[in-house]
């Protein structure tokens, strides 16, 4: 991987480098703005360091190849944007139900549909959580800088491996195309999936609820299926207990770790009576707005969500307990605002902007001033 | 299936999941015979399937690694596994609907890439698992759950389709031609490239009963009459050929 040092990168490039640093050696993808540069960098770099890159015929094939490679032992990823993310949903459910670690980067653009392909948006937050059918969990992280495109990609791989779950980097066009200097250091914690010869790959008594995961070709004679299965992978398509137990475990193993997975960052919240809760690029303009209003003497602060799924209920609940009101600016019509409402009792005001542009600081300061009155 | 083949079945597997008279069970045994004769190491074999009755031929029955995927996507999953670990012998076994309808795009692209995947398409000319709806392989005029008046559209000629797309070993046999079929599967196992074997497999439950071939033996007799080797097809008129299924090697491989 890259030697320690300072690098001037776009967000997409940084995410690719983070993936490689985390041990990713397989990439399958399909071109789509605004994520294509990530794929192009992976094509070049995997060739250099001896991994596998393949451009597939569509996004369904891409995520399918990623899952196949993951079971062959790879740390594997794909990247896409809205329309491609939609196509991937069935297979994301497959990854969740078969407990396949993999990473999906979704560089969000202005939807719905083809929308404004080169413009920014954050409309896929709920899709990331609920896009496939049935009850399942994923992990989703939200970077606000080029540095975090790198760091959170590493973290996405670590969490995917640790919990055997699809992990997503829910980036946005603004962060992906931003260029900044970032610091790459060797002192990164790297997780690898647990392995235990002869152990059941789809059931465990261990407290974390995460079974060990062997790879194909290791002599474990794996039986992997997206149908309901017992601890050894045998299809059990009409046993209510097996189904209930499996669905509960794949959900609980993630939800129980909400506090360990959930990362947030607060600024000026100690004495604040009004909080801004924001994520992704919007957290940058939010912080700027908060600093402006602090100069005017308004008691406002910012809670920045670095994790979106599982929703960081504990941190949001704590913040909500200390303030009178919360503003949630975001590049969609209130997707995270709705989640915040579920965690707090105070007033929550959404500030949803869906014009293909970032939420400007003025819009946030205006809303906060109005709320303070 | 003879007891000798049981060594290739996963311990814990019980009865066959297939209906009486289904060709998929025969195919399940024939593939194992080819594997046995080739002395394949099951620890290095990965069997990938999509969704459908045919997808249950390997999953979970075969005692190697089995990957039962999503409807239509078996080839894409297999591509990822094979590219990452080329030491695996990857065999894709799935249905006609799975591989050529919902998975049709993956089929032509996998053939184009000519990655070493051994594809066996169990063609019963219908969507068996979902109750006998028309497939992209159903002959013109045949009755299905969604074509009560007979299928108005032409079926794919799968062999020519994958040949045109770039496959490097292509054949078609029926489960009623076990020796030729086993030999063809052995060729595919030896071939280092994209192989595609279309296997005609009777479905009495969904296809037969709607097309006046109610009894399994009627369907088998019909297949035996209709499946003719290439040699016999030479010189036959188009009208005569219309009712026939020409079997044999469509694209022989270089050995
Ligand atoms: C995305 C999706 N669409 C539809 C289905 C329903 N489905 C299950 S099996 C099947 C047809 C399988 O037909 P084929 O591949 O020919 O296998 P057969 O059962 O005939 O052996 C369909 C349509 C599904 N599982 N997933
Ligand atoms: Mg079929």
Partnered with residue B9 across adjacent β-strands are B62
Give whole-number Cα distances, A73 to A91, A161, A254, B88, B238, in Å: 18, 11, 22, 12, 51
* Residue minimizing CA distance to atom 23 of ligand 1: B130
Asked whether A329 and A359 are in contact (CB, 8 A), the reply is yes
- Helices B104-113, B74-84: inter-axial angle, 10-degree rounding: 30
Q: Is the pLDDT of residue A194 over 90?
A: yes
Q: Is B250 in the pocket of ligand 1 (CB under 6 A)?
A: no
**What average pLDDT score do residues A171-186 get?**
97
Subunit contact A73:B12, Cβ cutoff 8 A? no
Whether residue B96 is contained in a domain is answered as yes
What Rg, from alpha-carbon coordinates, does chain B have? 17
Place of tokens 């009865």: B15
Nearest to A230 by CA among A242, A221, A219, A240: A242
The pLDDT, as a whole number, for residue A144 is 98
Hey, which CATH number is domain A5-184, 1.20.140.10, 3.10.580.10, 3.40.50.970, 3.30.360.10?
3.40.50.970
Whether residue B12 is contained in a domain is answered as no
Q: Beta strand A5-10 with A179-184: parallel, antiparallel or unpaired? A: antiparallel
The pLDDT, as a whole number, for residue A304 is 98
The vertex-A345 CA angle with A342 and A350, nearest 5°, equals 65
How sure is the predictor about A87, in pLDDT bands with cuts at 50, 70 and 90? Answer: very high
Asked whether A78 and A66 are in contact (CB, 8 A), the reply is yes
Q: Which chain B residues are Cβ-neighbours of A217 within 8 angstroms?
A: 43-44, 46, 65, 85, 87-88
Q: Note whether A159 contacts B: Cβ–Cβ < 8 A.
A: no
* A30-53 pLDDT per residue, tens: 999 999 999 999 999 999 999 999
In chain B, pLDDT over 70 holds for what percent of residues? Answer: 99
Whether residue B202 is contained in a domain is answered as yes
Q: For residues B216 and B81, which has the higher predicted lDDT (pLDDT)?
A: B81
Q: Note whether A224 contacts B: Cβ–Cβ < 8 A.
A: yes
Q: How many domains does chain B contain in total?
A: 1
| Total Cβ atoms within 10 A of residue A372 | 16
Minimal CA separation from B86 to chain A, in Å: 10
* Structural domain harbouring B46: 18-251
**Which ligand ends up closest to the CA of B98?**
1
Asked whether A136 and A97 are in contact (CB, 8 A), the reply is yes
Hey, which CATH number is domain A264-372, 3.40.980.10, 1.20.1270.10, 3.40.30.10, 3.40.50.920?
3.40.50.920
> ipTM score here?
0.98
Question: Ligand 1 center to residue B97 CA distance, Å?
Answer: 6
Q: Is the pLDDT of residue A69 over 80?
A: yes
The vertex-A140 CA angle with A134 and A144, nearest 5°, equals 150
The pLDDT, as a whole number, for residue B242 is 86
Minimal CA separation from B211 to chain A, in Å: 31
Asked whether A19 and A157 are in contact (CB, 8 A), the reply is yes
Whether residue B13 is contained in a domain is answered as no
CA B170 – CA B10 distance, rounded (Å) = 29
CATH number of domain containing B245 = 3.40.50.970
Q: Is the pLDDT of residue A368 over 60?
A: yes
Whether residue B3 is contained in a domain is answered as no
* B143-184 pLDDT per residue, tens: 999 999 999 999 999 999 999 999 999 999 999 999 999 999
* A99-139 pLDDT per residue, tens: 999 999 999 999 999 999 999 999 999 999 999 999 999 99
Nearest to B164 by CA among B209, B201, B111: B111
Whether residue B1 is contained in a domain is answered as no
Q: Is the pLDDT of residue A320 over 60?
A: yes
Whether residue B2 is contained in a domain is answered as no
Subunit contact B106:A52, Cβ cutoff 8 A? no
Which strands make up the sheet holding A347-352, listed edge to edge?
A: A264-267, A300-305, A274-278, A325-330, A347-352
Q: Which chain A residues are Cβ-neighbours of B43 within 8 angstroms?
A: 217-219, 221
Whether residue B177 is contained in a domain is answered as yes
Subunit contact A221:B42, Cβ cutoff 8 A? yes
Subunit contact A223:B68, Cβ cutoff 8 A? yes
The pLDDT, as a whole number, for residue B212 is 92
> Mapping DSSP to helix (H, G, I), strand (E, B) and coil, where does residue A358 land?
coil
For the whole model, what pTM was predicted? Answer: 0.98
The pLDDT, as a whole number, for residue B2 is 65
């Amino acid at each position: 991987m890259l030697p320690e040092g300072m690098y001037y990168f776009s967000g997409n490039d940084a995410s690719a480098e983070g993936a490689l640093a985390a041990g990713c050696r397989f990439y399958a993808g399909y071109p789509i703005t605004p994520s294509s540069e990530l794929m192009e960098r992976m094509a070049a770099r995997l060739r250099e360091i001896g991994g596998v890159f393949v451009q597939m015929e569509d996004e369904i094939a891409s995520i399918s190849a990623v899952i196949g490679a993951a079971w062959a032992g790879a740390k594997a990823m794909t990247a896409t944007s809205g329309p491609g993310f939609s196509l991937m949903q069935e297979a994301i459910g497959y990854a969740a139900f078969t407990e396949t670690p993999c990473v999906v980067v979704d560089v969000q653009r202005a939807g719905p549909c083809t929308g404004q392909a080169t413009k920014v948006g954050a409309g896929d937050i709920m899709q990331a959580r609920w896009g496939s059918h049935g009850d399942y969990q994923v992990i989703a992280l939200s970077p606000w800088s080029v540095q975090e495109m790198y760091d959170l990609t590493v973290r996405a791989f670590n969490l995917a491996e640790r919990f055997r779950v699809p992990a997503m980097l829910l980036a946005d066009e603004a962060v992906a195309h931003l260029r900044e200097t970032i610091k790459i250091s060797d002192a990164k914690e790297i997780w690898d999936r647990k392995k235990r010869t002869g152990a059941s790959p789809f059931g465990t008594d261990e407290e974390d609820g995460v079974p060990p995961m062997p790879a194909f070709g290791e002599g474990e004679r794996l039986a992997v299926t997206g149908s309901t299965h017992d601890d050894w992978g045998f299809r059990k398509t009409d046993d209510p207990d097996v189904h209930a137990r499996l669905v509960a475990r794949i959900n609980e193993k993630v939800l129980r770790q909400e506090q360990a997975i959930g990362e947030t960052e607060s600024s000026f919240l100690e004495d604040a009576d009004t909080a801004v809760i924001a994520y992704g690029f919007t957290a940058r303009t939010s912080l700027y707005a908060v600093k402006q209003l602090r100069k005017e003497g308004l008691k406002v602060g910012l809670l920045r969500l670095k994790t979106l799924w599982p929703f960081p209920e504990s941190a949001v609940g704590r913040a909500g307990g200390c303030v009178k009101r919360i503003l949630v600016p975001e590049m969609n019509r209130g997707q995270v605002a709705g989640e915040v409402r579920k965690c707090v009792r105070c007033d929550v005001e959404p500030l949803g902007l869906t014009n293909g542009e970032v939420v400007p600081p003025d819009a946030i300061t205006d809303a906060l001033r109005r709320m303070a009155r | 299936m003879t007891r000798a083949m049981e060594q290739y079945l996963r311990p814990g597997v019980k009865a066959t999941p297939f209906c009486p008279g289904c060709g998929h069970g025969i195919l399940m045994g024939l593939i194992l015979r080819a594997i046995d004769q080739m002395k394949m190491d099951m620890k290095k074999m990965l069997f990938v399937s999509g969704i459908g009755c045919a997808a249950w031929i390997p999953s979970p029955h075969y005692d190697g690694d089995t990957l039962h995927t999503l409807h239509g996507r078996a080839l894409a999953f297999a591509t990822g596994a094979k590219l990452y670990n080329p030491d695996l012998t990857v065999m894709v076994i799935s249905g006609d609907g799975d591989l050529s309808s919902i998975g049709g795009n993956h089929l032509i692209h996998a053939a184009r890439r000519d990655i070493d995947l051994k594809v066996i398409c169990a063609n019963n000319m219908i969507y068996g698992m979902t109750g006998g709806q028309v497939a992209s392989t159903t002959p013109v005029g045949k009755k299905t759950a969604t074509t009560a008046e007979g299928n108005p559209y032409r079926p794919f000629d799968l062999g020519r389709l994958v040949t045109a797309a770039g496959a490097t070993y292509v054949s078609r046999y029926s489960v009623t031609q076990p020796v030729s079929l086993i030999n063809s599967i052995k060729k595919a196992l030896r071939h280092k490239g994209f192989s595609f074997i279309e296997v005609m497999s009777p479905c009495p439950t969904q296809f037969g009963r709607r097309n006046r071939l109610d009894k399994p033996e009627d369907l088998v007799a019909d297949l035996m009459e209709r499946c003719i080797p290439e040699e016999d097809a030479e010189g036959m008129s188009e009208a005569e050929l219309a009712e026939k299924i020409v079997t044999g090697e469509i694209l022989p491989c270089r050995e």
